[in-house]
Amino acid sequence: MKSGPGSAAIRRADHVAIAQFINKGELVLDVGCGDGQLMELLQSERGARTRGLEVEQAGVNRCVAKGLAVVQGNADADLPVYPDAAYDVAILSKTIQELARPKFVLDELSRIARRVIISFRNYGHWKVRTTLLTTGRIPNLGSSSGWWSDGARRPCTARDMAELAAEAGLTVAAATAVNGKPITGKSLSRLNWTAEELVFVLERTKA
């Protein structure tokens, strides 16, 4: 499950950052929705309609028990069956760095939804860079048992993520540091130094 500890009343900062990009009435697919905290937030505070996809049974059960519409499935395998342009927004909150096939998933989500919003940990942050410089090790890989362990993250930076978006034919239409103000795509290099955690709004690049 992706959701952090604590009750539903404690709102995850990246969820709040994502929510500002959701408009009333939009149909949102939350991929890796955990126990549904983000969907609840988007329904109650943004007036969105939500659907979830979650691999863990416990998370699915909790969502279903709350009355949220959630399908038990795997982002790496189950997205191809979703129809084209069925959603306004698809969200990957702190999920993309844990996927087996991030580009495939991004391709699929941009087919399914008009906008794709991702939140991720930025390994371009200055603390990460200085730690690497001084200790020779990449910090905070999201696993206490070593960078090689199962489910370890893909440590990528804001620039790396922008490169993936471009590869997928997507533009970073807006970006924000979690707990920061949204900016447009131009000043990514600064965000890449200063943001520990980022939200990107991706849209298909206009031909």
User: Could you list the residues that contact another protein (CB under 8 A)?
Assistant: 51, 57, 60-73, 78, 81-83, 86
CB of residue 23 to another protein, shortest distance in Å: 19
Burial of 171 per CB tally in 10 Å (0-12, 13-18, 19+): middle
Nearer to another protein, 15 or 51 (CB): 51
| DSSP-assigned beta bridge partners for residue 197 | 121
Q: How many CA atoms lie within 13 A of 111 on its CB side?
A: 13
For another protein, which is the closer residue by CB, 40 or 107?
40
Q: Report the nearest approach of another protein to the CB of residue 4 (Å).
A: 22
Identify the CA nearest to 172 among candidates 188, 156, 157.
188
Q: What is the dihedral of CA 133, 134, 137, 139, to 10 degrees?
A: -90
Q: How far is the CB of 77 from another protein (least distance, A)?
A: 10
Question: Which one, 113 or 175, has the nearer CB to another protein?
Answer: 113
Whichever of 14 and 108 has its CB closer to another protein, that residue is 108
Which DSSP symbol is given to 61?
H
The token pair at 53 is 């996809």
